[in-house]
Structure 1
């Protein structure tokens, strides 16, 4: 497949889990890929694997999405090494499972800084170039928790709801520039983040799997094709949308 040939896509949180699966999928479809992750060594390893397996150009970039200066520097590095960024996937995110009444302001701030402000900051860093070229694809990985709420993830749910709202509002502003902005909302997915749920309560984890109509927890590879489609030319008339990829758990 070569749906994304000629594209330069940056994926935040690309070193593991859903982010790594997205990097693999878009590279398989011909995109050059910047794997951006807090763990630069892991990002570089993933990028090297993409080059070897798919023959695309790929680089690993170490970046804390909560640090505006680091975000600006990362975007400059990618555009120097790979060329103008045509697509961005804001996937980096963190969570802390627990009751809201047991949480603290420091945790709230970190969740907001990474999940919401990180998405906003990275988007802002690539947007001027996209506007100047009258082309661009922005895909923000939110969560079904941001649509319907999730016990034990109150502030996380708030940040992901913010990502959804941000995506819709920005989509309205930049549609005239031929830039699309969409959100993908994974349901329960087999990642380190969901592993926290099992650590807190295996019963809760097992209950999540039973609640999914398809009767299984999602895999990172289930999410990646939806993201790749929204980056593709075929999605050029789709913007401001929120797509749940959840095995039917959320139907709204």
Structure 2
């Protein structure tokens, strides 16, 4: 399939597990992929892998917590690849502690990366989408936003805020032909989840508990997520906006 032939797709956190898998999947469907990441080396590795497989991708340094960095990355991507058709806000970070053991400095970082960063990206990309009267935005939240998650209070609050923000932006920009939807991963085998397991003190026991609690019987893998992301970004979802989809093996089942 070539659902995204010549479309320009920006993926934040594109150098990571879910972000990298998403970049690679878009590239297989003929997109031009802009791999945004704070870690430019990681972004370059993903872009190089895409190109080695015959796809098109370019890496861009982007600190989503800093508006000047966001503006520069968006401008560079537009200059190199053209107008942005799809924005995937995937970048995230977490600290795994009971809320009373966290510090305000950690809250500030969590909010800056998981909520304000996405606001920066929307604010930088939306005006051109509005002018062109077309665009797709897919925000990666978390099932923690839908049901809560012990040890992730501020992260869950940020992701819950992102869900609410997405619904509002979907309403504000529906008349401009722009759709905004949310994908909520459950436990997924990424570097972030590895940190979560270590913070729990007994990683093997935690893995067993998660596996037992997931109806499909396993922890998610990064490649489990892109299918949902690409659906929301495609013309197949042209009449879908303001929606939230969990990709969690059935761990959460929300109507």
> Normalising by the residue count of structure 2, what TM-score does the alignment of the two structures yield?
0.97
How far the C-alpha of 1:233 sits from its partner, in A, is 1.1
How far the C-alpha of 1:209 sits from its partner, in A, is 1.5
> Matches of residues 94-243 of structure 1 in structure 2 within 5 Å?
94-199=93-198, 200=200, 201-202=202-203, 203-243=205-245
How far the C-alpha of 1:49 sits from its partner, in A, is 1.6
Note the residue ranges of structure 1 that are not aligned, 5 or more in a row.
none
Count matched residues: 251
How far the C-alpha of 1:205 sits from its partner, in A, is 2.9
What is residue 30 of structure 1 aligned with on the other side?
30
d(CA) in 1 for partners of 2:55, 2:221: 25
How far the C-alpha of 1:198 sits from its partner, in A, is 1.8
d(CA) in 2 for partners of 1:176, 1:52: 40
d(CA) in 2 for partners of 1:54, 1:233: 24
How far the C-alpha of 1:206 sits from its partner, in A, is 2.1
Local SS of the residue matching 1:92: coil
- Structure 1 segments, 4+ long, off by >3 Å, are none
d(CA) in 2 for partners of 1:144, 1:92: 16
Measured against aligned partners, the alpha-carbon deviations of 1:111-144 in whole angstroms (never above 9, x if no partner) come to: 0000000011101100000000000000000000
d(CA) in 2 for partners of 1:190, 1:54: 27
What is residue 53 of structure 2 aligned with on the other side?
53
What is residue 250 of structure 1 aligned with on the other side?
252
Contact 1:197 1:205 in 2 (8 A): no
Note the residue ranges of structure 2 that are not aligned, 5 or more in a row.
none
d(CA) in 1 for partners of 2:84, 2:211: 37
Contact 1:88 1:138 in 2 (8 A): yes
Q: Which deviates more from structure 2 when the two are superposed, residues 10-19 or residues 203-212?
A: 203-212
Contact 1:197 1:204 in 2 (8 A): no
> Matches of residues 76-87 of structure 1 in structure 2 within 5 Å?
76-87=75-86
What is residue 44 of structure 1 aligned with on the other side?
44
> Normalising by the residue count of structure 1, what TM-score does the alignment of the two structures yield?
0.98
Contact 1:37 1:43 in 2 (8 A): yes
